[in-house]
Amino acid sequence: MRFSNFTYIYLFIFIFLIKSNIGFSQTTDKIKKYETELRQPNLSDTAKMRVLVELCWLHRNNKPEQSLKYGREATKLCDNYPNQDHSRIYTYVGVTYRNLGNYVVALEYFMKANVEAEKYSNKKQLGFAYQSIADILYKQGQLTKSEEYIRKSLEIFKQLDDKEGIAYTYHTWGKIAESNRKYEQALHYHYQALEIRRPLNVLSAIASTKTQIGILYQKLKKYDRALDYLNEAKEVFIKDNNSSGIANVYNTLSEIYFDKKDFKNSLEFAQKAVEISLKTKLTDLARRSYQNLGNVYTEQKEYQKAFESQKFAIEYRDSLFNKEKQWQSLAMQDQFEQDKQEAEIIKLKSKSAQQSLWFYFLSLAIILLVLIVTFVFINLRQKRTLTNKIEDQSESIDEKNKLINEYDRKVAAIQERLDESSKVLEKSQEATNELKSLQKTVWQNESLVMMTVDKKGILTSFNPTAEKMLGYTAEELINKKTTNIFLDTTQVKVSDSDDEWTYLTKNGDTVQVLVMIDAIKNNKEETIGHLIIAQNISERKVYETKLKQTEEQFLQIQNIGEVGLWEINFPAQKTKWSEQMFIMYNMPIKGETPTIDEYLKKYTHQDDMMTFIKIIDATKTQKIAEAEVRNFDINGEPFTLLVKATALLSKKSGKWIGAKGTAMKIHIGEVIKNVNII
């Protein structure tokens, strides 16, 4: 009887300690709460399964791989309880796979959730299963089947009068209509979802719907309305730290500013989207972000950066296909760990009989320890009362010391700012002196003719190089019109680009020059004259004539052999094609050479993109690389080129700046995938 009383005392104390711990956990963040609960040693399988499911859901947007770890642990425990409804667990794991871009595996889990919900007549989870299946099917392009499932989902949620479920269904139906290019119908569904979600005040769900509305207005080219909705959604996602939502909005903003030709903002948002996507390992969003980044760099004619971005976009597209194999490997590893744990459990059970007696002795020891601790606690409490007054006085002194230290810190900061301002003034004066010296050096340049004229064409200054070339002194030309002396009236023009003019010297000779004219403005941005810079190109014109004759002869040789020449210069941001290249692609000979991005997307077979990229990369070793690459001409007709490439080196530094080579039209057929290094 005495032993029984001790047992009740022990149980009472043990339950009290557990309740105290739970009360403390409830004051913390949800994730910390569940992670703390997960670490409890005596947590039952069912409780552990519940905690794992909640952690899986909380991490789905910001840490999808961590979310998947928790979800897969929960699904293992499901096998121990075959007579329970696990539809919720399968749905959450499916959502995580969807966020990671693995739609095939996600669909398998949603189908499992569907079977479980039907088996146990769980209509709410059945509605979500239908909705999730519809979401995956539309992403896979199966729009008709997707609409069938979304109708089933809407019917169930209306029967249950589940407002959030109805709103979620309209939200998904809007995305399906968007894929069908029925943008007005899609807007109708999203506005219905928004009207239902606003009274519910679930900010993350409202932000998700506003994002889709913004995307639709983008497609309808109503950019101002799109920006309003997207910026509202962005603020909520940032507040909730929803990485996938933020990255999606940034990508859409980048695409809108790209359409508006605002490449500065487009580039900024694309770079932000890349940063978030890589940080959270959201592969599909990373692919889209790099694609947007490549488009902006192409428009800005930064072809090397565009080329690198395109490579990353293709690599992330390919990684989506490899991800499933990685997950299968992880599943096998989990099975091995599970078998190992089961063997460990059997081993522990064999020892449990020996440890039972020790458990009772340990329980008695714990009870005795608790009583001793209680006695000590009472004595400490009395001492605490006496020391509180001393601590209060110490705190008052510490506060005064903090105020003094803060004042000293502010004084030091002010002195530091004064020192920095003095250094800035000194550097500004040095920069002004350097600028004046540079202006003097440029004006006295011996290879460039420089002069200034006012708005009426009257010469106001004339550098020494101009005097030597034209044979006039500055005094002879200042305050006179250039058209009356050395310039033909038909050549007088104001332009921001280079032009070739003919000057007449004092002796009557002609000099061909390359001229650049730039406006001179006052502080009010009003044009008050022009700066004219000219360079003698008479000798160059002779060489150009000879070079043109040589090129014409070489062009005839190319046409006979059906061999085209090409060149990519990344620092100069230029590409060159010979006439034979345009002929092979059935393009106008006088047309513009395609950019690298256009060539990869429009004229190169999708399966051979990486082959062409590997050819370019191989030239960095200054070796010759060759491969057969399938192409399409401007009419979409397929043909195959044997492409040979070598390094394009800088004439000054001798460093790699691109690639050049030949392209010979051969047969239509299977391509040699490997790049050969000669």
Average pLDDT over residues 16-27: 35
CATH architecture, domain 548-677: 2-Layer Sandwich (3.30)
Pairing relationship of beta strands 449-454 and 527-536 according to DSSP bridges:
antiparallel
pLDDT band at 339 (very low <50, low <70, confident <90, very high): very low
In this structure, are residues 209 and 171 in contact, taking their beta carbons and an 8 Å threshold? yes
Q: How many C-beta atoms lie closer than 10 Å to residue 511's C-beta?
A: 17
Average pLDDT over residues 540-547: 72
Average pLDDT over residues 574-579: 88
- CA 322-606-175 angle, 5° bins: 70
Tokens of 112: 């499992």
Task: Give 3-state DSSP helix, strand, coil % of the chain, rounded to 5.
Answer: 70, 15, 20
In this structure, are residues 154 and 169 in contact, taking their beta carbons and an 8 Å threshold? yes
For the cut 70, the answer to whether the pLDDT of residue 154 exceeds it is: yes
CA–CA separation, 230 and 539 (whole Å): 59
**Region of residue 324 (left: phi > 0; alpha: psi -120 to 50; beta: else):** alpha
CA–CA separation, 577 and 561 (whole Å): 16
Average pLDDT over residues 161-171: 91
The pLDDT tens digits for 605-652 are: 989 989 988 898 899 886 789 999 999 999 999 999 999 999 999 888
CA–CA separation, 313 and 296 (whole Å): 14
Average pLDDT over residues 480-504: 65
**Overall CATH class of domain 44-137:** mainly alpha
Predicted TM-score (pTM) of the model is 0.43
For the cut 50, the answer to whether the pLDDT of residue 576 exceeds it is: yes
Range scoring the smallest mean pLDDT among 53-57, 59-63, 352-356: 352-356
Q: What confidence score (pLDDT) does residue 5 get?
A: 46
- CA 187-192-198 angle, 5° bins: 120
Do 449-536 and 548-677 come out as alike in CATH topology?
yes
Range scoring the smallest mean pLDDT among 490-499, 581-590, 659-668: 490-499
Q: What confidence score (pLDDT) does residue 386 get?
A: 64
Per-residue buried b or exposed e for 644-663, using 16+ beta carbons within 10 Å of the residue's own CB: bbbbbeeeeeeeebbbbbbb
The residues, any chain, with a CB within 8 Å of residue 56's CB and separated by 6 or more, are 67, 68, 70, 71, 74, 89, 92, 93, 96
For the cut 60, the answer to whether the pLDDT of residue 197 exceeds it is: yes
Give the whole-number percent of the chain exceeding pLDDT 90: 26
Q: Count the helices and strands in the chain (H runs, E runs).
A: 22, 11
For the cut 60, the answer to whether the pLDDT of residue 446 exceeds it is: yes
Task: Say if residue 305 is exposed, middle or buried (CB neighbours under 10 Å; 0-12, 13-18, 19+).
Answer: middle
Per-residue 3-state assignment (H helix, E strand, C coil) for 12-31: HHHHHHHHHHHHHHCCCCHH
Query: For 661, what's the count of Cα atoms within 13 Å in the CB-facing half-sphere?
Result: 22
Q: What confidence score (pLDDT) does residue 585 get?
A: 92
Q: What confidence score (pLDDT) does residue 567 get?
A: 92
Range scoring the smallest mean pLDDT among 128-132, 345-349, 538-542: 345-349
Average pLDDT over residues 241-265: 91
- Delimit the domains of the chain by residue range: 44-137, 449-536, 548-677
Instruction: State which fold the 449-536 domain adopts.
Output: Beta-Lactamase (3.30.450)
For the cut 60, the answer to whether the pLDDT of residue 15 exceeds it is: no
